[in-house]
Structure 1
Amino acid sequence: MFRTLSFTALALVAAPVFAAENPMVGGAAMYDSKTIVENALNSADHTTLVAAVQAADLVETLSGEGPFTVFAPTNDAFGMLAAGTVEDLLKPENKEMLAKVLTCHVVAADAMSDAIAGMIADDGGMHPVPTVGGCTLQATMDGEWIKLKDERGRTATVTIADVKQANGVIHVIDTVLLPAM
């Protein structure tokens, strides 16, 4: 389902550009020995994302070897969508669209924030980030934060960067990114 992309074909994430021990996410410890799905299940801030991943039948894929970089919108980010959007996307008849939205948050590479910031700098301030869902995000820096703009012009900030996983990395974002449709 996912196509392989070279690491240099990436770029995104926000939050101060430095790496350290895995931060807590949603009140839960994140373990680099667990997969993206295993860790996300423990985050109180990502229950909507987990429900969406399950409804789109992406659990097995995101539990796979990877590597994946996942820009993980919080429950609050999903709450900023128009009323009824999440409920509609979770309906079985909208599974294909839900999968498209979710895979526009996934890159087939392991991209830590320092590498992303370097790609942005190397590209003169903006780096295109192709996702496994066929979307291309535009990554930029705003001070020490990395921002991602989707194909509709919506911008997300990475609020927690560099959450290492056994099969990649999670960067928590504050906005749901959407495909052009």
Structure 2
Amino acid sequence: MNVGNRENKSFAIVNPLQKILRSTAVERNGPPEAAGFRSATGEPPPVPPSSPVEHPMKTKLIAAASFLALSLAVFPAQAAEEPKTIAEIVAGSKDHTILLALVKEAGLAETLSGKGEWTVFAPTDAAFKKIDKETLDKVKGDKELLKKILLTHAVKGTWVAGEVVKLDGKEVETLSGTKFKIAVNGKSVTVGDAKVTAADLKASNGVVHVIDTVLMPK
């Protein structure tokens, strides 16, 4: 019997088996360096980079962030709208067309559009219609009288509703020099004979309170 041939056959059988066992060990235990294997140079063999799978939620968040950035670039934020002047508030009200016309006629539109702080008690169209036509025409024909009447509706400084009610029983002096008494009765506030129907229309140069009666200078 040839012993050398028998040993060669045994080696041929064992060699494939060892390869299978080694392959199984790598699958169970991870890459060769994890099991202490090293290359001929003494360094652990290189590990091929893995290809991580993106989480669906992460992908959606990235897409949303990209869309937001693009939107901000295409549609920049608009600057905050500046508050209107007293003249602009009056001009934008459908209930103050007569007051607007008289303010323009008296040459006060520029004043109510300029810098400063005023509190304006603005009579509605219905308030002006309480005055008979003859008297109203007379006022329109006298520019100085018209100006005095309009200034009777303005007080220097910004007096919001919360401050006006604290003046209950006291008098306020208007720009025409005429004084009117403030009266508070529950939620009702009156300035002279005029009732405040809307308050705190805030402007860049003061505040507007709407009243139901035209104030006349004394």
Q: Does 1:170 align with 2:218?
A: no
Work out the CA distance in 2 between the residues paired with 1:44 and 1:85: 23
Number of the residue aligned with 2:164? 116
Q: Secondary structure at the match of 2:196?
A: strand
Number of the residue aligned with 2:12? none
Q: Secondary structure at the match of 2:107?
A: coil
Number of the residue aligned with 1:68? 118
1:10-49 Cα offsets, whole Å, 9 max, x none, are: xxxxxxxxxxxxxxxxxxxxx8711010111111100000
Q: Secondary structure at the match of 1:140?
A: strand
Q: Does 1:33 align with 2:71?
A: no
Number of the residue aligned with 1:24? none
Q: Could you tell me whether the CA contact under 8 Å between 2:167 and 2:182 is conserved in 1?
A: no
Q: 1:158 aligns with which of 196, 199, 215?
A: 196
Q: Percent identity?
A: 41
| Larger Rg over CA atoms | 2
Number of the residue aligned with 1:96? 144
> Would you tell me which structure has more strand in proportion to its own residues?
1
Question: 1:55 deviation in Å?
Answer: 0.8
Q: Using CA pairs below 8 Å that are at least 6 residues apart, which structure has the higher relative contact order?
A: 1
Q: Could you tell me whether the CA contact under 8 Å between 1:34 and 1:165 is conserved in 2?
A: yes
Unmatched segments (≥5 aa) in structure 1: 1-30, 121-125, 150-154
Q: Secondary structure at the match of 1:57?
A: coil
1:56-113 Cα offsets, whole Å, 9 max, x none, are: 111111111120000000000000012322222222xx00000000000000110001
Number of the residue aligned with 1:131? 174
Q: Could you tell me whether the CA contact under 8 Å between 1:36 and 1:170 is conserved in 2?
A: yes
Work out the CA distance in 2 between the residues paired with 1:44 and 1:87: 22
Work out the CA distance in 2 between the residues paired with 1:178 and 1:89: 11
Q: Does 1:87 align with 2:137?
A: yes
Unmatched segments (≥5 aa) in structure 2: 1-80
Question: 1:119 deviation in Å?
Answer: 2.5
Work out the CA distance in 1 between the residues paired with 2:181 and 2:205: 24
Number of the residue aligned with 2:8? none
Work out the CA distance in 1 between the residues paired with 2:116 and 2:140: 25
> Would you tell me which structure has more helix in proportion to its own residues?
2
